[in-house]
Copies of this chain bind each other. A is one copy, B any other.
Amino acid sequence: MVNWFKRGRDRIVAPRLRARADSSTFTKVDLAELTPDREQFLGRAALAQLVLFEDLSVVVSTAASLASKERMTRAAATCLARHHALIAELDRTGADAAAAMQKHRDGVDYFQSATRGATWHETLMTAYITSGLLDDFFARLAGGLPTDTRTRVAAIYAGESIEPVLISELRLALENNPLLAARLALWGRRLVGDTILVARSSLAAQPSSASDEARIEPVFTEIITSHTRRMDALGLTA
């Protein structure tokens, strides 16, 4: 996994430039062949969204001003609604939602603790970077779900995004304190590793050969390109 991740970073240059030119021209590669079964997928996606809500609720509680707190409540509400929509899908399958999430708890708990920010700005950055990566990843991974579920899950991920409100909050913070840039750039780089790892471990099968890696590589290259675009949006180097 470390090797893969290094390779991913080495290859970032070309797609990054392409993304800057026009990120909408991408043909998104999906991960349909590696989609786990419906309950597995939904349990993990719902748990990831819950972790994101928890990060954002810390951002709300510790915001320096009420104006900032209020803006962050909007992002928290959006994540919570998305989490509940995924739980509703789990309920439709007849599965026990908590039990379905429980199967993924160890891995996701590790992810949550590894990506916990030491400061308010880092926690905000965590919400921005990890939600961007994971929502992007799960939206692609949903490609292999049964048709009905796939359609509804796609609609969940295509719904209201928290990205604009998080970008403007982070930009405001960086304007007020340009010294934050170096720290947040470093933190963003740190986050991408742990987030890619938790995403990879959501695949139905773990890549175990060079040809497996070659098969999933285009997807992760695109995901990292989107990450780079997110860092760019803050004026930070990925």
Contacts and interface: CB of A to CB of B under 8 A. Distances in A.
A133 interface: no
Interface string A107-138: 00000000000000000000000000000000
B84 A77 contact: yes
A65 B73 CA distance: 24
Nearest to A71: B98
Question: How many chain copies?
Answer: 2
B73 A83 contact: yes
A70 B86 CA distance: 12
B77 A97 contact: no
Contacts of A77: 77, 80-81, 84
A176 to B, nearest CB: 16
B98 A70 contact: yes
* Residue among A47, A66, A81, A84 with most chain B CB within 10 A: A66
Contacts of A65: 98
Contact count band on A: 20 to 34
A67 B69 CA distance: 28
Contact of A60 (B47, B57, B67, B105): B57
A50 to B, nearest CB: 7
B69 A61 contact: no
A187 interface: no
A209 B49 CA distance: 53
A53 B70 contact: no
Q: Which 3 A-B pairs have the closest CB atoms?
A: A57-B57, A67-B98, A66-B98
28 contacts: A47-B66, A50-B69, A50-B70, A50-B73, A53-B60, A53-B73, A54-B60, A57-B57, A57-B58, A57-B60, A57-B61, A57-B76, A58-B61, A66-B98, A66-B101, A66-B102, A66-B105, A67-B98, A69-B98, A70-B87, A70-B97, A70-B98, A73-B80, A73-B83, A73-B84, A74-B84, A76-B80, A77-B84
